[in-house]
Structure 1
Amino acid sequence: MTLQVIKNINNNVTVCIDSKGKELVAFGKGIGFKKPPYEIELSQIEKTFYDIDKILYESINDIEIIYFDISAKVVDYATTMLDTTLNSNIVFTLADHIKFAITKYEEQLNISLPIMKDIEHLYDKEYAIGDYAVKLINKQLNVNLPKEEIAGIAIHLINAEKLKGRKGTAKNQEVVKMMTDVIEDYMNIKVDMNSFSYSRFVTHVEYLLKRVENQTEISSENAKMYQSLVEAYPEVYQCVEKIKRRFNKEFGIRLCKEELLYLMLHVNRVIYREDCDR
């Protein structure tokens, strides 16, 4: 069997059409030397990837093949560990992330990731895959990446799950709707549900509900910050207090001050950034 090459990305990567008329990206040593169109044997192909966003094609030239090799191994491992299908672009976006991680390592840039513990507790499977990935990268590239990269890779996997269309549980959706309704009603606004601030708000609620499910509480020393926010944003505080009462009444969930603090921060972003129409 053969594939029809329709575009060369570089000497080792081509865009092809298979026997069913589906477009794919093929990797193989020297398969991109000729001027398309032409046919190549399947025996010449090392890897194939379907349903790749065309916007990612050009980025392939900037990423060494070793990063794709590692990324593909991580994605294969993740597929066996997760009970969901990952977005097909993950091999490419993760390869780019690995490249950037190596650049930071070589330049001795260590960027902290405050939500690392949250990721470890709330997305334990994705975190375990991130741990596998970092160990694989360290071994194959003879480096010693910081632990923050475990969470960084886990976040890529979480995003790949969401981009595939993964939806939260019915309860999660019900809680998010309740909170959104309270915000819109109390603040007399229309929330832009397509905004980045709202997306972050929804993700925070998912984290919150996961912590409740796992009986894991946030622990920090933010009492002064909580009081400062209460005084600085009394409307937001009252709105969050109403959400707290609805949480307790409708879902039997009691929110501690730490949860209320982070909730106030996210509600404040949704309300006061240019993401909603008053």
Structure 2
Amino acid sequence: MVFFFEKKGDEWMALLVVNRVYNNNTVLVDVDNSDQAIVQGKGVGFQKRHGDDISPTRVERIFYLNTKEAKHRFGTLLKDVPIDITMTSFSIIEMAKQTYHYPVMDYIYVTLTDHIAQTYKHIMAGKYQKSTAPDIRDKYPTEYEIADKAIEMINHDLNVRFPKDAAQAIALHFINAHGSENSEEKEKVEQADFGDNVNKIVKSVFKEYGITRNITNQNYFDRLMIHLQYLVARIQTHEQDKRILNRDIESDFQKLYPKSYQIASEICDKIQRRLDINLNDNELLYFLIHIQRIIQEK
């Protein structure tokens, strides 16, 4: 588990020292001079500076950055996503874990945060459009209940008004990320949910080639997970990318990155055969680009 979440308690008396103040309500702290964490609470960072102590009684939420990977991922997200949106997304994920005992793959910290940030931008710019993904609430009641609660948390924490239908896309994120990193079930291709099958096919091909997520490729790996979710949405709504690309591009990429091309072709072939769908050439190129980044084929 990458991030740990706790609510404050009177018995919690750790020493919290300010490392960085993000805003009045969010602070990066050193915990007992050994760990780092993000703490949240009303006014917890007000007039605080590096080296100041923070009273544990002021803390409402604490996220432990207990590994190098956690620190790196958090820092990467903050380059593109405001701290308030990042922390709200993490709170939603921890709510799902604790309240609903819902296991998720770690990449959801990136994919869900990215989705909420993009939706927030569209709403604030007046460009939000209702999701065209199919409603499968009857099949996944728990995921949709989590998503409904997530909308309430987003509107409260970010002082914004996400419409109720925005819960549908959030539910899909949890459906696609359901499971654990060590679950054998995730390695098998079963006839179950469409989006889950796409993920399983990619994971099974990666296993054949010995491709795993690590500290070096984790950002590119997580971006591929985001791409898969949008791919599923495009397929289910019959809205694949129909732009006409130069035919020489595929030929050039095949010569430049033969291994990436081979892996991408195998993934596309298995998706088409096992799910009985047709993917256009653009989808192959997108897979190739993501895979080349992950394996760093020269």
Q: TM-score range with shorter-chain normalisation?
A: 0.5 to 0.7
* 2:26 matched residue in structure 1: 13
Q: Could you tell me which runs of 5 or more consecutive residues in structure 1 were left unpaired when the two chains were aligned.
A: 185-189, 208-217, 226-232, 248-252
* 2:100 matched residue in structure 1: 81
User: Deviation at 1:131?
Assistant: 2.9
* 1:130 matched residue in structure 2: 147
Distance 1:136 1:39 in 2: 29
Greater share of residues in helix: 1
Question: What SS does the corresponding residue of 2:126 show, helix, strand or coil?
Answer: coil
Q: Could you tell me which runs of 5 or more consecutive residues in structure 2 were left unpaired when the two chains were aligned.
A: 1-12, 191-199, 243-249, 251-261
1:42 aligned partner, one-letter code: P
* 2:246 matched residue in structure 1: none
Matches within 5 A, 1:25-40: 25-28=38-41, 29-31=43-45, 33-40=47-54
Distance 1:30 1:131, change over 3 A: closer
Matches within 5 A, 1:48-59: 48-51=62-65, 52-53=70-71, 54-55=74-75
Question: What SS does the corresponding residue of 2:151 show, helix, strand or coil?
Answer: helix
Using the size of structure 1 for normalisation, the TM-score is 0.53
Distance 1:86 1:191 in 2: 19
User: Deviation at 1:105?
Assistant: 2.0
Asked which structure has the greater CA Rg, the reply is: 1
Question: What SS does the corresponding residue of 2:103 show, helix, strand or coil?
Answer: coil
Question: What SS does the corresponding residue of 1:117 show, helix, strand or coil?
Answer: coil
* 1:230 matched residue in structure 2: none
* 2:57 matched residue in structure 1: 43
What RMSD over aligned residues (CA atoms) do the two structures have, in Å? 5.8
Distance 1:124 1:172, change over 3 A: farther
Question: What SS does the corresponding residue of 2:127 show, helix, strand or coil?
Answer: coil
Residue identity (%)? 19
* 2:186 matched residue in structure 1: 169
Specify which of 161, 166, 190 is matched with residue 143 of structure 1: 161
Using the size of structure 2 for normalisation, the TM-score is 0.50
User: Deviation at 1:86?
Assistant: 6.1
Distance 1:56 1:50, change over 3 A: farther
1:15 aligned partner, one-letter code: L
Structure 1 residues 58-100: Cα deviation after superposition (integer angstroms, max 9, x where no partner): 5699445xx578546533431132441564983x985675454
Question: What SS does the corresponding residue of 1:23 show, helix, strand or coil?
Answer: strand
Question: What SS does the corresponding residue of 2:39 show, helix, strand or coil?
Answer: strand
Question: What SS does the corresponding residue of 2:149 show, helix, strand or coil?
Answer: helix
The answer to whether the Cα contact below 8 Å between 1:120 and 1:127 also exists between their aligned partners in 2 is yes
Distance 1:102 1:110, change over 3 A: same
1:152 aligns with 2:166: no
The answer to whether the Cα contact below 8 Å between 1:74 and 1:133 also exists between their aligned partners in 2 is yes
User: Deviation at 1:49?
Assistant: 0.8
User: Deviation at 1:48?
Assistant: 0.9
Q: Report the count of equivalent residues.
A: 233
1:133 aligned partner, one-letter code: A
Distance 1:160 1:15, change over 3 A: farther
Question: What SS does the corresponding residue of 1:7 show, helix, strand or coil?
Answer: strand
Distance 1:47 1:111 in 2: 32
Distance 2:268 2:19 in 1: 58
Question: What SS does the corresponding residue of 2:16 show, helix, strand or coil?
Answer: strand
Specify which of 9, 15, 20 is matched with residue 3 of structure 1: 15
User: Deviation at 1:55?
Assistant: 0.8
The answer to whether the Cα contact below 8 Å between 2:15 and 2:53 also exists between their aligned partners in 1 is yes
Matches within 5 A, 1:216-255: none
1:104 aligned partner, one-letter code: H
